[in-house]
Amino acid sequence: MSKQELTNRGGGVTKWSFPPVHPEGRKFGLIAGALTAVFAFMAWETLAWPMAGVTAWTLAFFRDPARTTPTGENFVVAPADGLVTLIEKVPPPPELGGAEGLGEEPLTRVSIFMSVFDVHINRTPIAGTIKRVVYIAGKFLNADLDKASEENERQHFLVERSDGVRIGFTQIAGLVARRILSFVKEGDMVGPGQRVGLIRFGSRVDVYLPVGTSSRIIKGQRCVAGETIIAELGVDNDLIAINA
């Protein structure tokens, strides 16, 4: 990470450039590009042009843009790009619960749905230590459905700050997604907004906020992973509204 990103300050010449392609996607881009070249060489234009489009989409799908995470020790940032489809209070999943996890009390869960056009690199909502990484095989239902949290293939993460505050989040496969990848393991230290995993192709991420913390975003809002502030630890907007 550059010094400018760490200090959250801009500088120098600013210009747009296509985001780099994550290494996980380069092999798919090469395969699609090779097929495009073969079809073009064989003068099969009806196949070459659509395949060229597939190649461009594949490279775009695996793009890995740099993100500047807002400074603030109590900020919880979005772990995924996409649309907020659900915000509700639910018990934490068993894999994240217990005395050494998120407990048993219902928590605010924020669900972010990633379409096949969104960036699919996932990031940690807070800085801390990865305490749990739990993979569960499952179904491939529409990730926009509520029951996808309990039935689909998924991978849970539990992050704990130095002061003991914990946040859980879950990568959930969808109709098209067939692979969930993790870039971190239990015991790793992560910074806010650090890359922790990837899902391909189209999926969802759930975030479980601690007791006493509510969402500061709304359903229908779009999030940017590592940049959008979805909550502030210890701030319960619902309680503030009631007492106002």
Residue range 196-209: average pLDDT? 85
Same domain for 130 and 210? yes
Whether 33 and 84 share a structural domain: no
Supply the range of the domain harboring residue 43: 23-61
- Of 15, 32, 61, the one marking the end of a domain is 61
Residue 155 sits in the same domain as residue 238: yes
pLDDT of residue 130: 96
Poorest-confidence range of 108-122, 143-157, 173-187, 224-238?
A: 143-157
Summarize pLDDT for 10-26 with one digit per residue, the tens: 555 656 666 676 677 66
- Beta partners for residue 77, in sequence order: 229
Amino acid 243: pLDDT: 38
Answer yes or no: is 236 within a domain. yes
CB-count burial class (<10 Å; 0-12, 13-18, 19+) for 18: exposed
Same domain, 92 and 154: yes
Instruction: Write out the catalytic residue numbers.
Output: 203
Does 36 lie in the same domain as 123?
A: no
- Looking at the structure, tell me whether residues 52 and 167 fall in a common domain: no
Taking the C-alpha atoms of residue 30 and residue 134, their distance in angstroms, rounded to an integer, is 31
Number of structural domains, the chain?
2
Give domain status of residue 68, yes or no: no
Q: Please indicate, yes or no, whether residues 57 and 143 belong to a single structural domain of this protein.
A: no
Between 168 and 143, residue with greater pLDDT: 168
Q: Give the start-end residues of each E strand in the chain.
A: 75-77, 82-90, 107-114, 121-123, 128-136, 154-160, 166-173, 179-182, 189-190, 195-200, 203-208, 222-223, 229-232
Q: Which pLDDT value is given to residue 7?
A: 47
Within a domain: 154: yes
Q: Is residue 3 part of a domain?
A: no
Q: What is the 3-state secondary structure (H, E, C) of 14-58?
A: CCCCCCCECHHHHHHHHHHHHHHHHHHHCCCHHHHHHHHHHHHHH
Please tell me whether residues 124 and 166 are part of one structural domain.
Answer: yes
Site of tokens 């230590």:
129
Q: Look at residue 237 in the predicted model and tell me its pLDDT.
A: 73
Indicate if the pLDDT at residue 106 is higher than 90.
yes
CB 207 within 8 A of CB 167: yes
pLDDT band for 80, please (50, 70, 90 cuts): very high
